[in-house]
Amino acid sequence: MTAFRGTTAGPELFPAMGPKLRRDMDALFPLIEKTFPVPARFRRDLASGVAELSRLLTSGRGERPLSYLNQPPMLSAYLRYFLPWNLYRLCRLLPSLELSLAPGDRILDLGAGPLTLPIALWLCRPELRAFPLEFSCLDLSRAALDAGKKLFAALNGPGGLNGGSPCPWIIKTHSAGGRGPQNPAKGKQNVSLVAVLNMYNELFQSVSPGNEEGLYRLARTQGALLASYAGKDGKILVVEPGIPRSGQFITLLREVLTGLDHPPLSPCAHGGPCPFPGPAKSAGPRRDTGKGASKWCHFAFDTQDAPAVLRRLSTAAGLPKERATLSFLLAGPAPEDQRPQDQGPYPRLPGDQETPSSPVRIISDPFPLGLAQGPREWGRYGCAKEGMTLVRGEKALVESLPPGTLVRVVFTGRRDPKSGALLCRPAARPPA
């Protein structure tokens, strides 16, 4: 068998789910209900339980116990709401990432919860199901890990989504007794992927807002830890909620990992300092981004193809989701000709002279521009080797660019007076 190297060769980060994946996602919720049955009286309270858990994960996080998923009501709400939504986000992202997994590879999953990553890979990368892979999954909650193993077994068992065909994956679970990741794969070789999903937003809650040095220390510690787990050949995947603090932390982590020979592979269009550092200037090395320094790297995409039962539950819980958001980083070694290239400091663009075309990763939603930018023009912020950009053009063209897509642009030689972003327009066609 040869390594499976991704299903999306084009520039789009969040391709729409195909019919088979949509059917599997639709079948997931009934499978969860069948695997984890609850009495009817508890099912009636599910929406309120989801709302309460959401509160504890956000505004009421100070009240949340560290091992909250060990509590049956919270685990039940998590399995029926947060797990499916996390799977949906990952199933929109993972098909586009170059993970380069091969038969016999090992994956280290830190903060694994109910095995969100193995289940997501199983759903959206079916080519991997025939590969003998080994997962080492660590979490504080033994109950969550056990629930994930039970659900994964149901996916592959009689009445599951795989037609009863066995899956050769080996999944080993490890419950941790302290805060933060340890290394259950210590001493093993060939860890091809180290993944951390939706964990750091819980860790950095202990760092007070405005404590930039504390956040940078956490990024240095965790970056060194992840790089040591990955070794010189493994890749690192971090996915967090698309909130400002997550974007800021991932930017810091990106800086640390770059210095540890794990440069950014995605979503970055370049290997230089991040022009979207988040709401505050970090304590670490950072390029001055001027007026745009408060913006953070995150992506949003619509949820029209999410399972209808999940969207109904979201509405019933008072948490309607018309769009999903996330911030992420894939880092690791790559052939030199495949790495994003750092082009040094921002160029000085004289007058209206146009520069050669350059790839830009679309970051923001479309928005109307003022008359100073031209009549009926719309824009979207993007990331390029030259820094933060404002891609502008006719409304229909700007709106047609998929979220996170990579496009070729031509710079105009001017900056947006409001944000300081370099002004550009889409070239004739996106890069192949």
Q: How confident is the model at residue 422 (pLDDT cuts 50, 70, 90)?
A: very high
Give the separation between CA 163 and CA 67, rounded to whole angstroms: 35
- Distance of CA 68 to CAs 76, 137, 142, 406, Å? 11, 18, 11, 39
Extended strands (E) in 35-175: 106-110, 134-139, 170-175
CA–CA distance, 310 with 321 (Å, rounded to integer): 10
Please measure the distance between the N-terminal and C-terminal CA atoms of the chain and give it in whole angstroms: 27
The DSSP symbol for 402 reads P
**Second CATH level (architecture) for the domain 19-338:** 3-Layer(aba) Sandwich (3.40)
Side chain identity, residue 30: P
Q: pLDDT, tens digit, for every residue of 79-109?
A: 999 999 999 999 999 999 999 899 999 999 9
The residue type found at 286 is R
The answer to whether 90 and 239 have CB atoms below 8 angstroms apart is yes
Are the C-beta atoms of 425 and 411 separated by less than 8 Å?
A: no
User: Is the confidence at residue 175, as pLDDT, over 60?
Assistant: yes
The encoded tokens of residue 428 equal: 């004739």
pLDDT at res. 21: 96
pLDDT tens-digit profile of 119-161? 999 999 999 999 999 999 999 999 999 999 999 999 998 888 8
Tokens at 304, concatenated: 């029209």
pLDDT tens digits, one per residue of 209-240 = 778 899 999 999 999 999 999 999 999 999 99
User: What dihedral do alpha carbons 280, 283, 286, 289 form, nearest 10°?
Assistant: 20
Residues 6+ apart with CB under 8 A from 332: 230, 234, 235, 236, 262, 263, 265
Cross-strand partners of 415: 422
- What are the CA-CA distances from residue 145 to residues 149, 169, 196, 257, 423 (Å)? 6, 16, 15, 28, 48
Closest of 150, 101, 147 to residue 124, by C-alpha: 101
Cβ atoms of 322 and 294 within 8 Å: the answer is no
pLDDT in tens, 6-51: 332 346 899 999 999 999 999 999 999 999 998 877 777 889 999 9
Cα 156 to Cα 364: distance, rounded to the nearest angstrom: 39
CA dihedral (399, 362, 407, 238) positive or negative? negative
DSSP-based three-state secondary structure for 179: coil
SS3 217: helix
* Helices and strands, number each (H, E), in the chain: 12, 14
What is the radius of gyration, based on Cα positions, of the chain?
A: 22
The domain limits of the chain are 19-338, 358-426
pLDDT tens digits, one per residue of 42-76: 777 889 999 999 998 887 777 877 778 888 888 99
Mean pLDDT (whole number) for 251-270: 94
CA 1, distance to chain mean position in Å, is 28
Residue identified by tokens 């990579």 is 406
Which pair of structure tokens corresponds to residue 242? 């698309």
Q: List the structure tokens of 11.
A: 């520039």
Which residues neighbour 201 within 8 Å (Cβ) at sequence distance 6 or greater? Answer: 240, 241, 243, 245, 246, 249
Give the integer Cα–Cα distance in Å for 125 and 19: 14
Please give the structure tokens belonging to residue 336. Answer: 């030199």
Whether the CB-CB separation of 319 and 292 falls below 8 Å is answered with no
* Cα 341 from Cα 344, distance rounded (Å): 9
Q: Looking at per-residue confidence, does 352 or 132 come out higher?
A: 132
